[in-house]
A and B are shown apart, each in its own frame.
Chain A
Amino acid sequence: MTIDANGMHYTPLNKMIRQAVASGVREIVIDNVLGQRFIANGLRSNVRITINGVPGGDLGMFMSGPECIVRGDSEHAPGNTMDNGTIVIHGSAGDAVAHSMRGGRVFVRGDIGYRGGIHMKEYDQKRPVLAVGGTTHAFLGEYMAGGIIIVLGIGHEVAVKDRGIGSGIHGGEIILRGDIEDRLLGVGARKVIFTEDDLNRLSPLITEFCERIEVDPSQFLDTNYTRIIPASSRPFAGKYTWE
């Protein structure tokens, strides 16, 4: 099924998507998307939605199951508080990508803005993944409480050159291609060596990500990564004293 979203407001657009899903459609293409927010907001099911254009903010917020493929850039916070499913963005994305994401995967081929993966969290079987092909701006993985962030830095000298990486991280891990200057680490973040074991554990994910963003995975299957983890799961426990 194909929808022409030219000039359409997001509420009727989402209504059409929801109706189609309810009637059993499993493949939707939306053309001429430009700035419509909240696409696939709170949507359940295993539908695949291809978005041609630039969706507005909060793409796939609260989404639980579907797959959204964006042929274009995306504005702020795709994957916001997302529960399950996949978002693949073939362009770049704005600030707060995967904000508070609880499960599923957000794959971005290009760069992302500030505070990517802020407060991603994991629980039980749910382990969210944010993978970025390009680079990111400051405060990547801020407050991160779980899940995995991977940044490959394709087309950039270093994967991340902005400050505050993993500031306040108390769960999960951040995997960055190459080495990262210590001064860029945020409070409570610790740099550890990326081992063969890590590679074995993560190579299926790296491979899948590369395939989804259409780059050759073989060049990324080595241990030339930096792994950033929490220094403690309670980084601020020592901050307070009782009256």
Chain B
Amino acid sequence: MCGIIGVIDRTKARMDGSSIKKALSLMKERGSGEGAGYVAYGIYPDYPDCYAIHVFFDNLVEPKSKVDEVLQKWGRIVHQEEIPTYEQPCLKREHIPWRYFYRPYTEFIVGSNNPAEDIIKHLVMTVNSTIQGALIFSSGINLGVFKAAGWPEEVADFYRIEDYKGYIWLAHNRYPTNTPGWWGGAHPFNLLDWAVVHNGEITSYGTNRSYVESNGYKCTMSTDTEVVAYLFDLLGRRHGLPSEMIVEALAPQFWDEIDLLPEKEQKLKRTLRLTYGPALMNGPFAIVVATSKGIVGFTDRIKLRPLVVGENGSRLYISSEEAAIRVMDPEVKSIYMPRAGEPVVGRVVQ
């Protein structure tokens, strides 16, 4: 089932994690106590130009020295520390969460439009697929994922997320059917600037996976959610499509509806569908994706998962349940349900 919620303050006013913790806890019923997580943007203002690399280490001996080694090969570790955590009675500590603030050496590679990001992506793929006992689960600038196997409150308290202040928060409460209890399997899923929370199951996973893999991504997390992040990265960062158009590619209108549109729009949508056919996502899902510039939420094309939107001034909320929004913001002004496949976009205003 899973519960998701996201919020953005479009003026970049920062909120601490206490209210999203309450909202996610209200949707406890949607999870099973085997995975919850949060991501927040704007939490590391002291390192505004460093990639904040969060890693789960099984121990600080071998895996850590190997990660240190590859990081140092490709760039400079500006600062590193264990992510502060606080014992929770029912949460079994499976890994040691660690963070690096990191600057890649961009002059090392050629033929890239964005060498820094390509290096980070490469490091994530390499560490996660080759270094036993280390998993990079967060790799963007001035943002961080905090997740573990547990109930929403426990995970929030384990990391004391009220100590972090961000202008975008996404949270997820997991009811796993695959890889239960694995910390890496919890959401949000992040790569570079993209973070994803997802409720549902992607029946087109096999097709989407071959598509992103044929474009140089490696699916290492055994979860269909990572494929969403890679699709956004491929279509958004590498192909330069705006969020609305990415959503249109992932959850396009039906052909019979496209056929009725005016010629120019029809042509655009047809070209988009033909070009990105293997990116089309099938199955029941509601997804919220964030970048430092904003958030976008959408559901599958026939609305097999719930999604509710609320607005209050500069704040936009997207959630599985209306009650969760109301818990976060009792004063919320307009609440509505977007149509299937319709992108709900909240952008940062400068």
A residues at B contact (CB < 8 Å) = 34-35, 37, 54, 56-57, 73, 75-76, 92, 94-95, 111, 113-115, 137-139, 162-163, 183
Would you list the 6 A-B pairs with minimal beta carbon distance, nearest first?
A35-B323, A114-B303, A34-B323, A54-B323, A35-B26, A113-B337
**Do the beta carbons of A94 and B323 come within 8 Å of each other?**
no
6 more A-B residue pairs beyond the given contacts A34-B323, A138-B340, with a C-beta to C-beta distance below 8 A: A35-B26, A35-B27, A35-B327, A54-B323, A56-B323, A75-B321
CB atoms of A37 and B326 under 8 A apart: no
User: CA of A104 to CA of B340 in the docked complex: distance in angstroms?
Assistant: 29
Query: B29 and A37: CB pair below 8 A?
Result: yes
Chain A residue at smallest Cβ distance from B323? A35
Q: Within 8 Å CB of B335, what residues of A?
A: 73, 92
Chain A nearest CB, measured from B312 CB (Å): 15
Contact of A137 among B27, B257, B303 (CB under 8 A): B303
B339 interfacial contact with A, CB 8 Å: yes
**SS class, residues of chain A in contact with chain B:** loop
Q: How far is A75 from B327 in the complex, measured between Cα atoms in Å?
A: 14
Residues of B within 8 A of A114 (CB): 302-303, 340
Quick one: which of B294-350 are within 8 Å of A by CB?
302-303, 306, 308, 321-324, 326-327, 335-337, 339-340
Question: In whole angstroms, how far apart are the Cα atoms of A35 and B5 in the complex?
Answer: 14
For B, the interface residue count at a CB cutoff of 8 angstroms equals 22
- A138 and B323 form a contact (CB under 8 A): no
A163–B29 alpha-carbon span in the complex (Å) = 32
Contact B340 A137 (CB under 8 A): yes
Q: Sample 25 A-B pairs with CB under 8 A, ordered by A number.
A: A34-B323, A34-B327, A35-B323, A35-B324, A56-B29, A56-B321, A56-B323, A57-B321, A75-B306, A75-B323, A76-B306, A92-B336, A94-B306, A111-B337, A113-B303, A114-B302, A114-B340, A115-B303, A137-B303, A138-B302, A138-B303, A138-B340, A139-B302, A163-B257, A183-B260
**In the complex, are the beta carbons of B327 and A162 less than 8 A apart?**
no
Give the complex CA separation of A176 and B243 in angstroms. 36
> What chain A residues lie within 8 Å of B308 (beta carbons)?
94
Which of B260, B306, B327, B336 interacts with A95 by CB under 8 Å? B306
Residues of B within 8 A of A92 (CB): 335-337
Pick the residue among B302, B303, B326, B339 that contacts A34 (CB under 8 A).
Answer: B326
Determine the main DSSP class of B at the interface with A.
Answer: mixed
B27 to chain A: closest residue by CB? A35
Identify which of B306, B324, B326 gathers the most chain A CB atoms within 10 Å of its CB.
B306
Q: Distance in Å from the Cβ of A66 to the closest Cβ of chain B?
A: 22
Q: Which residues of B contact A111 (CB under 8 A)?
A: 337
A74 to B: closest C-beta gap in Å: 9
Contacts of A35 in B (CB 8 A): 26-27, 321-324, 327
CB distance from B89 to the nearest CB of A (A): 20
Beta-carbon contact of B337 and A75 below 8 Å: no
B303 contacts which of A57, A95, A183 (Cβ < 8 Å)?
A95
Kindly identify, within residues 222 to 264 of chain B, every residue whose CB is under 8 Å from any CB belonging to chain A: 254, 256-257, 260
- CA distance in complex: A37, B254 (Å): 34
- Cα separation A56 to B30 with both chains bound (whole Å): 11
- Residues of B contacting A94 in the complex (Cβ-Cβ under 8 angstroms): 306, 308, 322, 337
- Interface pair B26/A34, CB less than 8 Å apart: yes
Select from chain B the residue with minimum beta-carbon distance to A55: B323
Question: Which residues of A lie under 8 Å from residue B302 when comparing CB positions?
Answer: 114, 138-139
- Shortest distance in angstroms between B349's beta carbon and chain A's nearest beta carbon? 28
Distance, CA A39 to CA B52, complexed state (A): 45
Task: A56 to B337: give the CA distance in the assembly, Å.
Answer: 15
Residues of A within 8 A of B326 (CB): 34, 54
**What CA separation (Å) do A54 and B321 show in the bound complex?**
10
Task: Give the nearest-CB partner of A56 in chain B.
Answer: B323
Inter-subunit contact B340/A73 (CB<8 Å): no
Q: Check B339 against A162 for contact (C-beta < 8 Å).
A: yes
Residue picked from B257, B260, B322, B336, most chain A C-beta under 10 Å: B322
Q: Which A residues are CB-close (under 8 A) to B29?
A: 37, 56
Taken together as a complex, chains A and B put the C-alpha atoms of A139 and B303 apart, in Å, by 10
Across the interface, which residues of A come within 8 angstroms of B322, CB to CB?
Answer: 35, 54, 73, 75, 94
Q: How far is the CB of A144 from chain B (nearest CB, A)?
A: 17
Q: Which of B29, B254, B321, B323 has the most CB of A within 10 A?
A: B323
Interfacial chain A residues near B323, Cβ < 8 Å? 34-35, 54, 56, 75
Give complex CA distance A95, B323 in Å. Answer: 15
Residues of A within 8 A of B321 (CB): 35, 56-57, 75
Nearest CB on B from A191, distance (A): 18
A73 to B306, CA, bound (A): 15
- Using CB atoms, name the residue of chain A closest to B330: A34
Name the distance in Å between A133's Cβ and chain B's nearest Cβ. Answer: 15
Q: Which residue of A lies closest to B335 (CB)?
A: A73
Residues of the A chain whose Cβ atoms lie less than 8 Å from the Cβ of B339: 137-138, 162
Q: Which residues of A contact B303 (CB under 8 A)?
A: 95, 113-115, 137-138
Shortest beta-carbon distance from A159 to chain B in Å: 16
Cβ-closest chain B residue relative to A114: B303
